[in-house]
Every structure is written in structure tokens, then in C-alpha cells.
Amino acid sequence: MSIVMIAAVGTAAVLLASLMKGVKAEYGFFLAAAAGMFIFFYGIQKLDSIIHVIGQVQEAIRLDNVYFATLMKMVGITYIGEFASGICKDSGCSFLGSQIEIFGKLSILAVSAPVVLALLQTLESFLAS
């Protein structure tokens, strides 16, 4: 499936959800959430090829596995956080969606802290020489 197909699924779901909101608002939300889950899981399947390419780049430049794992964690946190936040905001819980976004950003900061610390130590060793 390509981006055109995913866009068509998303657009059709939004149109049907809009029509269903006139009948019963909950049905429209559930339809949109189901379409969102479908697109989300399809996107996760695409991550396999991306991880493979990043693994090849990692081997080519001899990148430490810790950095690769950290990068993958950051991508996962971002993707899941944005998806959950979007669902919350679409259902009318903007405050909860914003809190999920903030937690996601803090999680990325916590995961990346060791890498930033290693970078600063490397810079310090270069400057001390």
C-alpha cells in the first residue's frame, strides 16, 4: 500500500465519521480511531525496512549499537506519543493530548541524555588535547 492508498483510507474514514456524527457522535469517533489504528499499524510494518537501512548505515560508519538503539527508542517514543496525543485531541481531550506530548518529549530527553553526555565528554577530550 502506498501513501495514496493510506490517504484515501484516512479521507474516507473522515468523511464517513463526519456523516456518522449526525447520527451518533460516538460512532464517528470509533470509526476514525479504527482507521487511525489501521494506519498506525501499517506504519509500524514500514519501520522494519527503515531499521534495516539504518542498520546498514550503522555498519558502514561503524556506529556503536548504543547509539542505534537510542535512535530507535526516540523514533518509537515520538511515533507512539504523537499518535496517542492526536487521538486525545480529536476526542476533545486537548489537555490530556498535551500532557502526552510533554511526557513524550521528556522521555526522549531522558533516553538521549547518555548520548549527549558522551558527546560532551568527547568534545571535552578534544579541547583538552
Mean per-residue pLDDT pooled into runs of 10, the chain (129 residues): 82 86 83 86 82 82 80 89 88 88 94 90 87
**Are both 79 and 129 inside the same structural domain?**
yes
Is 40 part of a structural domain of the chain? yes
Does this model's pTM top 0.85? My answer is: no
pLDDT at 91: 78
Query: 85 and 127 in one domain?
Result: yes
Is 58 part of a structural domain of the chain? no
Q: String of b and e for 20-52 (b: at least 16 CB within 10 Å)? A: beeeeeeebbebbeebbeebeeeeeeeeeeeee
User: Is the domain of 41 the same as that of 68?
Assistant: no
- Residue 59: the pLDDT is 81
* CA–CA separation, 21 and 62 (whole Å): 54
Kindly state the cell numbers that stand for 90. Answer: 480529536
Residue 111 lies in a domain: yes
Return the pLDDT at 112: 92
